[in-house]
Structure 1
Amino acid sequence: MSLEESVKDLKNALSILTDRLSSIEDKIKDDGSGEDDLTKKLKDMEKLIKRNTKYADLLDVECNMPNMRGRLPPKFTTADLPKFKGTEHPAHHLRSFVQAMALKEVDASVFPAIFPSTLEDVARSWFFSLDPTRVSNWEDIKKEFLTQYSSNADLLITRRDLEVTKQTEKEGFTDFLARWRNKAAKMIERPPEAEQVDIFVKNLREPYKSHLRYAGIESFARLNKIGIQIEDDVVESTAKNQTKVCFKDKKNFASTSKGGDIVNTVEQKPRREFTDLGMSLSRALDRLIKEGYIKPIGPTPDPANKSPKWRENEYCKYHRGKGHDTDYCFTLRNAIQNLIDNRTIPLPKAARKPNNNKNPLGDVKPSHR
């Protein structure tokens, strides 16, 4: 006798025994002649039967698993198959699954065994709760799946969804743009790009909205570039305002002795003034390196936690790393100013008329940035 037949017989026997025990228990209750001890034993036996029934069900599931040996291509894996979380369009998921199977050259006969591995969370729980007879072949699985998640097809993103997706109070420009475009990508028929940009700008908060609304922007590439610049200014302005408030509180504070004499006050450190070099920082760096006055630092690796001002596509020759352009390197500007303040190099031509034979920065005409 095969394992499958044995499991079937065991389940039938347990079912019959459970029915008989229930009948005996009902008869004892009706007659009123049963003893508590006997009733307890019957209940214990019933619990034991139920546990064995669950075990038999597990064996039954194992017996019904198809033999996959020799039916899958070498190095086959389900890790890269499309996943369904319960909110996507069911027909789209089925199409993605079939296309993936075709690319992997998997025979359709094993689709029923592989398909559950593409379901996640609630969707997987739903599938395994079905009676195996309802999903015994691929056609039945498709029918059940499409029926269960048919309502998802009515939840597609519309133009109205884009129009009511607003930037939240604490949401930055880049975060909102990513969220809005992710929603727009789910539309079947999207408006033209210029029209999408117009909808997006109307949903921005200030100061982004007032700066971008009349800029005549028609592409997301340009919108993103300008929006990031505004976002950087907002971050910098917020930081400066917080510093001013903090300093104002400290400036107004003074510790006093018992006699009322002022003991200590906090004064603001004067902001450093930088000498006009008459050229870009990158050109000044090249000249100073050539003359041996300065050496690049680094190489500087990418930071683990990148600030909003960190730029992937900009490179600093002084730091020898990404994140900002050489011409906007604050560290380099301070290093050159130190050379000037220490009189290691004379004042550049833009600051005073120098001796060109001695000044490495003096023979270059000022550049306008």
Structure 2
Amino acid sequence: MVESTDSNLDTITELATMKEQMVEMFHILKALQSEKEKKAAGGPRSHPSSGNPNQGVGTTQTQDGKDTNTKQKAPLDDSQRAPPGGNTPHTEKEAEKLSPIEERLKAIEGSSCPDLKNSFEMCLVPDVVLPPKFKVPEFEKYNGTTCPKSHMHMYATKMSAYHENDKLLIHFFQDILVGATMSWYIQLEKTQIRTFLDLSNAFVKQYKFNEDAALDRTQLQNMAKKPSESLREYVQRWRGLASQVLPRLDEEEQLSIFIDSLQSPYYERLIGNVTTNFNVLIKVGEKLEGGIKSEKIAE
């Protein structure tokens, strides 16, 4: 069952990649077809011989100025005959261009994917209109392993200037997704997602299990600083996970739990710190860290 799920996800991911490729292939095919139609409409071209056009092969001129045919033209052998339409070389070149496209299309048709639609029809909002001077904000990517409400709140905050533009909000929501979450977005049906509220509810419902499995205080206290990371890096990692704890922890609670997670000599030196601000705690901790590195403070 797991292998089947992974296979479906791989297929869906490939489908997303091919969306842009299908548009490009469509334009190539149209251009090639247009070129072939133009050549077919023009037909074979004659190539007049140089000199007097009235004095070709098999004609002589009498004394009174009249031309008379003295012999018939010899029939052309197979090597001299022009191919039908006169464009065999062009056809071969077109065949070379079409060959990889045809192979790709056959691979698509032979796969277990659903029937492919027009690339634009596959979009949730194919007729989205961008506001003048619109620039997509930088988003932290969501991979489906953390609280969905936090990411939804982040997205809504950065797109607050366009809170009335449902189509824009739905279209660019995919920019915060990565991996399996992007595959989930691609499978959404337009009939089910008509407003951004519909998308928000579907997203939170899909990944609600992450909210139910949120960290608690005990898990935070059992964390430990890695030997390879600095105190500042550990604080950033710890606070990132602490933000997922429900109900929310205030600053003073976070400081108390964080200090309890430290090992010697940080714990002994910071347990008596009376600050209620993480910034101050980091500054004190970095001075302590510098003293340990310079061996002024024993570990």
**TM-score when scaled to structure 1?**
0.43
Q: How does 1:136-285 map to 2 (within 5 A)?
A: 136-138=193-195, 140-237=198-295
CA distance in structure 2 between the partners assigned to 1:160 and 1:111 by the alignment: 38
> 2:127 matched to 1:68?
yes
Kindly provide the amino acid, as one letter, of the partner of residue 68 in structure 1.
D
The Cα shift of 1:230 comes to 1.6
In the alignment, is the contact (CA less than 8 A) between 1:89 and 1:153 conserved in 2?
Answer: yes
Which structure is higher in RCO with an 8 Å CA cutoff and minimum separation 6? 2
| Letter paired with 1:175 | E
In 2, are the aligned partners of 1:73 and 1:105 still within 8 Å (CA)?
A: no
Q: The residue matched to 1:199 in structure 2 has which SS? A: helix
Gap regions ≥5 residues in structure 1 = 1-46, 241-369
Contact 1:197 1:218 (8 Å CA) reproduced? yes
Quote the Cα distance in structure 1 between the aligned partners of 2:251 and 2:276. Answer: 7
- Against the structure 1 CA distance between its residues 64 and 152, is the aligned structure 2 distance closer, same or farther, given a 3 Å change threshold? same
Shift of 1:73: 0.9
Report the counterpart of residue 79 of structure 2 in structure 1: none
1:132 counterpart = 2:220: no
Q: Relative to structure 1, is the Cα distance of residues 80 and 106 closer, same or farther in structure 2, using a 3 angstrom cutoff?
A: farther
Contact 1:134 / 1:141 at 8 angstroms: preserved in 2? no
Give 1:119's match in structure 2, choosing from 168, 172, 177: 177
1:89 corresponds, among 144, 147, 166, to 147
Mark the CA change 1:126 to 1:226 in structure 2 (over 3 Å): closer, same or farther.
same
Change in 2 beyond 3 A, CA 1:75/1:56: farther
Q: What letter is aligned with 2:218? A: R
Aligned to 1:268: none
Q: CA deviation at 1:136?
A: 4.7
Q: 1:50 and 1:115, CA in 2 relative to 1: closer, same or farther beyond 3 A?
A: same
Cα distance change, pair 163–126 in 1 and its aligned pair in 2 (3 A): same
**Aligned partner letter, 1:226:** V
SS at match of 1:61: coil
Are the equivalent residues in 2 in contact too, given 1:73–1:104 (CA < 8 A)?
Answer: no
Offset of residue 162 of structure 1: 1.9
Residues of 2 paired with 1:193 and 1:143: CA distance? 30
Separation in structure 2 between the aligned mates of residue 190 and residue 204 of structure 1, nearest angstrom: 21
For residues 215 and 56 of structure 1, the distance between their equivalents in structure 2, rounded to whole angstroms, comes to 62
Cα gap change, 1:115 to 1:239, in 2 (>3 Å): same
Aligned residues between the structures: 194
CA–CA separation in structure 2 for the residues paired with 1:219 and 1:189? 20
Secondary structure of 1:73's match? Answer: coil
**C-alpha contact (below 8 Å) 1:194/1:218 kept by paired residues:** yes
Instruction: Name the amino acid aligned to 2:194.
Output: N
Give the letter for the 2:127 counterpart.
Answer: M
Residue 235 of structure 1 and its aligned partner are, at CA, apart by 0.4
Q: Distance in 1 between matches of 2:205 and 2:148?
A: 9
